[in-house]
Amino acid sequence: MKNALITGITGQDGAYLAQLLLQKDYKVYGTYRRLSTPNFWRLQSLGIFDKVALIPADLVDSSSIMTAINISQPHEVYHLAAQSFVGASFDQPVGAGEITALGVTRVLESIKEINQDIRFYQASTSELYGNGNRAPQNERTPFRPSSPYAAAKLYGYWLTTIYREAYGIFACNGILFNHESPLRGIEFVTRKISNAAAKISLGLKERLPLGNLEALRDWGYAPEYVESMWLMLQQDKPDDYVIGTGETHSVKEFAQKAFEAVGLDWQKYVEVDQRFFRPVDVDRLQADCSKAKQSLGWQPRVKFDKLVEIMVQEDLNRWRRCQKGEAFPWDAPNYPSEASMLTRSLRPRREAPLVQPCPQGS
Ligand code: NAP
Ligand code: G4F
C-alpha cells in the first residue's frame, strides 16, 4: 500500500484527489488549516471524511509541514494548498507570496531533508501565461504572469524544476487550466453563476452581478483533472504537463448556458458590476494538451455544455433540499450577499493615477 499526502485536502481538487487515491488503495493523509469553523463539507459530500487521515498544518509554518511529512511517511506528495483565488491576490499580495510561493519551498525543503525519494506534484496553472501569448498554450509557451497569484505560482513552478535538477527529486508541474465542478469554491465565476441560476429559478435571488463577461477560459471537469496529477507521478521520469480541454468559452457563454438550463434568459438577470473587474485580467486561455494525451494517455471527457449542466443541476438539488428543511451542509448559505463585498480589487478602478507626475522644469 502506498501513502499519499495531499496539502489542501479540504479544497475542490484535494477532495476529488483523495477520493481517487482511496479507490486506488492508497493510505490518504491530508493537511487542513485550523479555522474557527471546520471546513470539511467537500470530504463529507463525497462520503470520504472518515476514510482519510487529517493532519493540521499551515503553509506559513515550516514546522507543521515537516511534521505532516514525518507523520504520513508519504511515497507521493500532492501540493495543492494555496491561496487560489486570483481576485483575492490583488487584495492580499503579500499573502500570495508567503503562502502560494514560499509555501512550495517549505514543502520541497521538508522533502529534501526527510526523504528525497518522495515524489512531488506542484499545482501549477494556466494563469502563468497571462496576457500577450498566442492561444492555444502549451509547455513551450512563454510565461507572463498578470496577477500576484500568477507571479507566486511562477515562483513555485521554478522551485519545482530547480529541486528536480539540483537534488534529483521526482518533481512535476501540472500546468492545469481552469477546472470546475459542484465542489468548486463559491466565489469562482462558474460556481457563482450556477449557484445564482439555481437560486433565481427557485425565487431565492433576483440579480447576478458579474465583472468581465468577455474573458475566455478553457473550463474542464475537476474529477478528470486529478487523474492527470496521479498519472504524472506514475511515469518513469518527472516532467511538466499542460492539462485542459482545448476549447475556450466566454463568461457570457457560461451564463447563457447556465440560465438556459433552468429555462431562463440570462440577460434579464445578469448585470455588469465594476466591483467584480480585476485591476488586470487574463483575456484568453486555451490549452494545447497534446503532450499529456501522448505521454500520459490523459483525455478530457466532459466538455463545456455537460459541465454547465452538471453544476447547475447540483446547485438546484442543494437548494431544493434546503427548501424542504434538510440541514444540508455546503458553502453557499454562508456566502455574503454581493452588496456587502467591499475589497480593494472589487472597488471601481481609478481612471487616472491619484498622484500626477510633476510638470517638467518645476
Ligand atoms: P481551493 O478549492 O481553493 O483549495 C485550496 C486549498 O488550499 C484549501 O484546502 C485551502 O484550505 C488550502 N489552503 C489555503 N491557504 C492555506 C494555508 N495557508 N495553509 C494550508 N492550506 C491552505 O483550490 P482548488 O481549486 O482545489 O485548486 C487546488 C490547487 O490547484 C491550488 O493550488 C490552485 O491554485 C491550483 N490550480 C487550480 C485550478 C483550478 O481551476 N481549480 C487550476 C490551476 C491550478 P481551506 O479549505 O482551509 O481554505
Ligand atoms: O473563476 P475565476 O475567478 O477563475 P480564474 O481567475 O481564471 O482562476 C482560476 O483558474 C486558474 C487557472 O487558469 C487557477 F490557477 C486559479 O487558482 C483559479 O482556479 O475567473 C474566471 C474569469 C476571470 O476572467 C474573471 O475576471 O471570470 C471573470 N469574472 C467575471 N465576473 C469573474 C466575475 N470572476 C469571478 N470570480 N467573479 C465574477 O463576478
Q: Give pLDDT tens digits for 290-347.
A: 999 999 999 999 999 999 999 999 999 999 999 999 988 999 998 888 877 766 655 5
Q: Name the catalytic one among 125, 160, 190, 245.
A: 125
Instruction: Give the ligand with the smallest distance to the CA of 56.
Output: 1
Q: Is 29 a catalytic residue?
A: no
Q: Is the CB of 87 under 6 A from ligand 2?
A: yes
pLDDT at 156: 98
The share of the chain scoring above pLDDT 90, in percent, equals 89
pLDDT at 75: 98
Retrieve residue 93's grid coordinates.
499580495
Whole-number Å distance, alpha carbon 10 to ligand 1 midpoint, is 8
- Rounded to an integer, the average pLDDT of 89-107 is 97
Residue 267 predicted with pLDDT over 60: yes
Q: Is 149 a catalytic residue?
A: yes
Q: Name the catalytic one among 29, 32, 78, 149.
A: 149
pLDDT at 339: 76
Residue 359 predicted with pLDDT over 80: no
201-220: pLDDT as tens digits? 999 999 999 999 999 999 99
Q: Which atom of ligand 2 is nearest to the CA of 191?
A: 1
pLDDT at 341: 74
